[in-house]
């Protein structure tokens, strides 16, 4: 399968001459794929992202994004990339929400009517049309994240990168973000790479998961394989969601439960077992 991101034997050297080696497994992303990069703070997630967007130079090894070295040829692929920072307010530049989202289109010299059409379409997709004339820096954290996301996808990038997108959100906002990202992936075929140490929502979104610890990829696979591997998560200093930990434990005991982060789905699957045991006990 063709890949849009490939990392091979990457070694990064920090200014103090310490190094981090991104080894253990090959890292790649295919078109339209949703990939979660999971690791605790200091595991190397942000360093890896900065290599992908051309902000850092590899000490050794190679990084290819859409077939080119992003450090040397970022201008060739910039229109193919969208990114939402961990602190989205840092990338909001326009005087109003509409201006901020339209900024890249004006910069690319799109015709005015096409700009209006595209901005209105993206704002409708993300349900932020009511923020049209609002000042970005007076919005709530969740609203700022939506506006930053709109600005990142307005040019219809082939790869969307999100750094710790769940870190500032409550459960309701996390669920809303998952739905927005799924819609973007399905409607536009956009590949998505997100980093996180919060595993609670990923079963509903990711196609593939990488587990990273101190720059080393120690696990990779489908979410249902990786996120139910509790020893692997603990090795990476990640906290398994309580519900997935319960599912993994009961599966080992022969209880056929679905892989899900939704408590109601797990509870529904568990009810027949509870009913059966209740009948046995009552005899």
Does 64 share its domain with 171? yes
**34 forms bridges with which residues in the sheet?**
192
Environment class of 226 (CB within 10 Å of its CB; exposed 0-12, middle 13-18, buried 19+): buried
134 Rama sector, left if φ>0, alpha if ψ -120 to 50, beta otherwise: beta
CATH number at residue 197: 3.40.50.300
Q: What are phi and psi of 19, to 5 degrees?
A: -125, 160
For residues 188 and 262, state if they share a domain.
no
In a shared domain, residues 164 and 265: no
Give the pLDDT confidence score for residue 259 in this predicted structure.
72
Residue 118 contacts residue 105 (beta carbons within 8 Å): yes
The answer to the question of residue 126 being in a domain is no
Same domain, 259 and 170: no
What domain range is 252 assigned to? Answer: 241-282
Say if residue 266's pLDDT is above 70.
yes
In a shared domain, residues 167 and 245:
no
Q: State the total domains in the chain.
A: 2
Same domain, 248 and 191: no
| C-alpha–C-alpha distance, residues 91 and 75, integer Å | 19
Structure token digits, residue 171: 């459960």
Asked if residue 102 is part of any domain, the answer here is: no
Let me know whether 77 and 158 are in one domain: yes
Q: What is the mean pLDDT of the segment spanning 48-71?
A: 93
88 domain-assigned: yes
Do 184 and 250 belong together in one domain? Answer: no
DSSP letter assigned to residue 31: T
CB atoms within 10 A of CB 275: 10
Instruction: Give tens-digit pLDDT for 102-135.
Output: 999 999 999 999 999 999 999 998 889 999 999 9
């Amino acid at each position: 399968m063709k890949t849009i991101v490939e990392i091979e034997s990457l070694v990064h050297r920090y200014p103090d001459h310490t190094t981090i080696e991104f080894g253990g497994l090959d890292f790649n992303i295919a078109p339209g794929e949703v990939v979660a990069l999971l690791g605790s703070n200091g595991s190397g997630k942000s360093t890896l992202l900065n290599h992908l967007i051309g902000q850092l130079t590899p000490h050794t090894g190679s990084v290819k994004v859409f077939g080119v070295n992003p450090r040397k040829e970022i201008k060739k692929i910039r229109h193919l990339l969208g990114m939402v920072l961990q602190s989205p307010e840092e990338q909001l530049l326009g005087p109003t929400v509409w201006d901020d989202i339209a900024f890249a289109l004006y910069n690319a010299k799109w015709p005015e009517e096409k700009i209006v059409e595209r901005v209105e379409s993206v704002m409708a997709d993300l349900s932020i049309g009511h923020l049209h004339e609002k000042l970005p820096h007076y919005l709530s954290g969740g609203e700022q994240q939506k506006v930053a996301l709109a600005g990142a996808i307005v040019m219809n990038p082939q790869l969307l990168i999100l750094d710790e997108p769940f870190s500032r959100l409550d459960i309701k906002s996390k669920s809303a973000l998952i739905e927005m990202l799924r819609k973007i992936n399905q409607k536009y075929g956009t590949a998505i790479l997100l980093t996180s140490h919060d595993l609670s929502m990923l079963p509903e979104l990711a196609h593939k998961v990488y587990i990273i610890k101190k720059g080393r990829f120690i696990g990779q696979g489908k979410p249902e394989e990786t996120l139910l591997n509790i020893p692997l998560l603990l090795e990476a200093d990640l906290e398994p969601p309580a519900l997935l930990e319960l599912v993994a434990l009961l599966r080992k005991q022969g209880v056929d439960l679905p892989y899900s982060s939704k408590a109601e789905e797990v509870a529904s699957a568990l009810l027949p077992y509870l009913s059966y045991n209740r009948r046995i006990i009552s005899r």
